[in-house]
Amino acid sequence: MPFPHRSLVIALLWAFLVPAVGRADLSISGTLITHSGHVVDTLATHLKIKGPLVRRSLEGEGTLADFFGRRVEILHRTSGASTVLDLEAGTYTRSTGAARLCHPWNLFDLRWLGRAPEGAQGELVWPDTSEVILGYPAHAFDFRFPTRQKGGSTIRFWVVYELDSLFGPESVQSLYCGFAEADADRQLSAQLSRQFSLSPESIEELYKVRLGYPVRIESFMGQGSTRLELSRFETKVVNQAALADSLFSVPDSFKPAGSQDGR
């Protein structure tokens, strides 16, 4: 099967040929809703992008908010460096070696979507449905997984392609770290194929899909009228506006967590 080899080649090229990231000043707000039995948690999500830096934060109350804690992530999209601010403790933690965020999808922490159930292969499926989100036509595709429950489980991605209008032409180039969209799509396809254990046939099809920007991501059990929603992320507002540098730095009042030192 040729895909692991091709993925490795793409990863190596990215490691040594990452171009400079252009300027982008964007604020993206959304909601993250999760269902666990009768408990529904709703969090407000905030993304701020300035050049190569991304600031991610969540606001809300409930079990999910307690799990994530009151914290802010500041990430450098091409170096993999990150800083986490613990807003309650007034401390920060630095780390290196995180994945590069050179695709609009990677503005979000896709790890909250989980992985394929152990031993199961995900299948790429195009549902017969469409919708307008944020004023743009959104196209859906599914990753479906077999489970004991009838209908299995599904992660549905609603994607828009009018990125120049949504983000502004200069911002779009920055979100791809200066790479061609097709090259960035191939890198993300390799990432998604691994995370969701896609079948060989689905991997081949995913490499042909234009990935755009996911304005809504749903996960649910079952199909049709018996569908049970598990979680939903949705972008609500995208603003193009100048952002202060201070949003992407450690406040003077914060101290290193544990044994870390330096700023």
Q: pLDDT tens digits, residue range 89-109?
A: 999 999 987 778 899 999 888
Side-chain-facing half-sphere of 124: CA atoms under 13 Å:
17
Q: In the prediction, which pLDDT does 148 show?
A: 78
Q: In the prediction, which pLDDT does 117 show?
A: 77
Q: How many structural domains is the chain composed of?
A: 1
Of 195, 187, 194, 210, which is closest to residue 15 (Cα–Cα)? Answer: 187
Place of tokens 């990753």: 143
Q: In the prediction, which pLDDT does 8 show?
A: 40
Mean pLDDT over 122-135 rounds to 94
The residue that leads in pLDDT, 101 or 64, is: 101
Q: In the prediction, which pLDDT does 259 show?
A: 58
User: Looking at the domain assignment, is residue 154 inside a domain?
Assistant: yes
User: Looking at the domain assignment, is residue 137 inside a domain?
Assistant: yes
Predicted confidence band of residue 21 (pLDDT cuts 50, 70, 90)? low
DSSP one-letter code for 113: G
Q: In the prediction, which pLDDT does 13 show?
A: 41
Q: How far is CA 136 from CA 22, 44, 159, 162, in A?
A: 25, 22, 10, 7
Mean pLDDT over 164-181 rounds to 91
User: Looking at the domain assignment, is residue 96 inside a domain?
Assistant: yes
Q: In the prediction, which pLDDT does 22 show?
A: 54
Q: In the prediction, which pLDDT does 12 show?
A: 37
pLDDT at 30 over 60: yes
Neighbours of 244 (CB within 10 A): 10
| Amino acid in the structure at residue 140 | A
Strand partners, 45: 30, 58
Predicted confidence band of residue 263 (pLDDT cuts 50, 70, 90)? very low
Q: How far apart are CA 230 and CA 155, in angstroms?
A: 10
Predicted confidence band of residue 131 (pLDDT cuts 50, 70, 90)? very high
User: Looking at the domain assignment, is residue 262 inside a domain?
Assistant: no
User: Looking at the domain assignment, is residue 263 inside a domain?
Assistant: no
Q: How far apart are CA 105 and CA 62, in angstroms?
A: 26
Q: How far is CA 31 from CA 1, 184, 229, 244, 260, in A?
A: 39, 26, 15, 24, 33
Q: In the prediction, which pLDDT does 69 show?
A: 67
| Amino acid in the structure at residue 164 | D
Q: Which of 36-40, 87-91, 234-238 has the lowest mean pLDDT?
A: 36-40
Q: Which of 37-46, 67-76, 235-244, 252-261 has the lowest mean pLDDT?
A: 252-261
- pTM, two decimals, is 0.84
Return mean pLDDT, the chain. Answer: 86
pLDDT at 206 over 90: yes
Mean pLDDT over 121-143 rounds to 95
Q: In the prediction, which pLDDT does 193 show?
A: 96
Helices (H) and strands (E) in the chain, counts: 6, 13
- Cβ atoms of 74 and 53 within 8 Å: the answer is yes
Place of tokens 């919708």: 131
The rounded percent of the chain whose pLDDT value lies above 70 is 87
User: Looking at the domain assignment, is residue 33 inside a domain?
Assistant: yes
Mean pLDDT over 79-96 rounds to 93
Q: Which range marks the domain in which residue 28 is found? A: 3-256
> Could you tell me how far CA 126 lies from the centroid of its own chain?
20
User: Looking at the domain assignment, is residue 261 inside a domain?
Assistant: no
DSSP one-letter code for 112: G
Alpha helices in the chain (DSSP H): 3-17, 63-68, 163-167, 169-175, 181-195, 200-206
Mean pLDDT over 169-187 rounds to 91
Q: In the prediction, which pLDDT does 261 show?
A: 52
Q: In the prediction, which pLDDT does 5 show?
A: 43
Of 212, 106, 236, 237, which is closest to residue 160 (Cα–Cα)? Answer: 212
Exposed, middle or buried: residue 26 (CB in 10 Å: 0-12, 13-18, 19+)?
A: buried
The residue that leads in pLDDT, 120 or 255, is: 255
